[in-house]
Amino acid sequence: MDAIKKDVIIVGGGAAGLMCAIEAGRRGRSVVVLEHAERLGKKILISGGGRCNFTNIHTQPKNFLSDHPDFCKSALSRYTPADFIALVEKHRIPYHEKKLGQLFCDQSSRQMVELLEEECKTSRVEIRLGCKIHSIHKNLSFQVETSQGLFSSDSLVIATGGLSFAKLGATDFGYRIAKEFNLKVTDLRPALVPLELQEPAGLSALSGISIDAVVHCRRQSFRENILLTHRGLSGPAILQISLYWQEGESIEIDLLPERSAESIFLGEHGAKTLSALLSQYLPKRFVQHWCSALANKFIKEHTKAEREVIMQRLHHWKVAPHRTEGYPKAEVTLGGISTEELSSKTMEARAVPGLYFIGEVVDVTGWLGGYNFQWAWASGHAAGRYV
């Protein structure tokens, strides 16, 4: 079988893979993207509630987790949110900042996929959809055997994402390829994911209640909403803290951020019950449940010791999650191809010349809020400059 020869083969037609293809194509490289799904960018399409949170204007290396935190600095500094925003504006896609630097399409995430498709077309990138990879070998060049024939190239880029969203076709392909080439893969676990409680029955009746709170774990904290669910806790603050939480640990929740429980009590003359007082600051249904374990009497009837217990619980409510809801509900995979194995400048494997890993498959994981897309653009751009 004669191989279809290309300068660059990219496995994976998501954000990172397409950005890499665009940049390599601009340099005059012949590029083919092999995507096993029947359409490009399936994860892009569902992101941001269908409006794609495509970057965060406040992106900094501190917003990413990795066994080697400095690894992401090079790529992020060479392709910034402003660079991708310029591309969005070039295609006249209207967008807005929702909160905390998070940028979303005004209309549909489909526009972001169309942008990438158009840039690939301009850069003469060939895209093969529904292309299943059977095997990958390296002799003098990389040989990729697929359902659509044998491909050959000097540069091979793995941009296959992580284990989250298996229903969209996520697999462990990228990690398996790394191991076949004797490259280290760090421990993997679901992240940006809801947390389950061992016995959520008490809270299940409160499912759907959202509370502005600060959530703490391992000296890390996030101020956003928490959402009570029939299985435990979710919401932006919980998804963020899931990056740091590990089984067996507790998280701590401040239910009155920027307020002092002590001042609330001092400002009350005692004519209200505890639940009536707290219902001025927290959802009534939640307060009724939360107060059920306390003496719900008039404020003036509480002893000083009782007040201290209540104030402690309001600002330091400890919850011990049982586990996460796993990869089906996780937005990303924490961990990946060890950054020890890769050049931070080019994303090339040090021990395997011509082999590159980009995007989520690498051990670089961003916070919720557009950071992971920015890593996809930046790491794809970095590799695209050198493949």
**Class of domain 195-324 (CATH, top level):** mainly beta
DSSP H helical segments within 257-303, as ranges?
261-266, 274-278, 284-290
Task: Identify the pLDDT of residue 201.
Answer: 55
Task: Identify the pLDDT of residue 202.
Answer: 67
Provide the residue ranges of all domains of the chain, joining segments of one domain with +: 4-189+330-384, 195-324
Indicate if the pLDDT at residue 176 is higher than 90.
yes
Task: Identify the pLDDT of residue 198.
Answer: 83
pLDDT per position as a tens digit, 265-308: 877 656 788 898 899 999 999 998 888 777 678 888 888 888 89
Indicate if the pLDDT at residue 199 is higher than 80.
no
For residue 259, give Cα distances in angstroms to 214, 265, 268, 275, 286.
12, 11, 14, 17, 18
3-class SS at 303?
coil
DSSP H helical segments within 93-217, as ranges?
110-122, 173-180, 201-204
Q: How far apart are CA 21 and CA 33, in angstroms?
A: 7
Q: Could you tell me what percent of the chain has a pLDDT over 90?
A: 84
Task: Identify the pLDDT of residue 185.
Answer: 98
Indicate if the pLDDT at residue 45 is higher than 70.
yes
Indicate if the pLDDT at residue 169 is higher than 90.
no
Q: Which CATH number fits domain 4-189+330-384: 3.90.1170.20, 3.50.50.60, 3.10.129.10, 3.90.1150.10?
A: 3.50.50.60
pLDDT per position as a tens digit, 90-118: 999 999 999 999 999 999 999 999 999 99
pLDDT per position as a tens digit, 60-88: 999 999 999 999 999 999 999 999 999 99
Largest CA distance in the chain: 87
Global pTM value: 0.94
Cβ atoms of 54 and 372 closer than 8 Å:
no
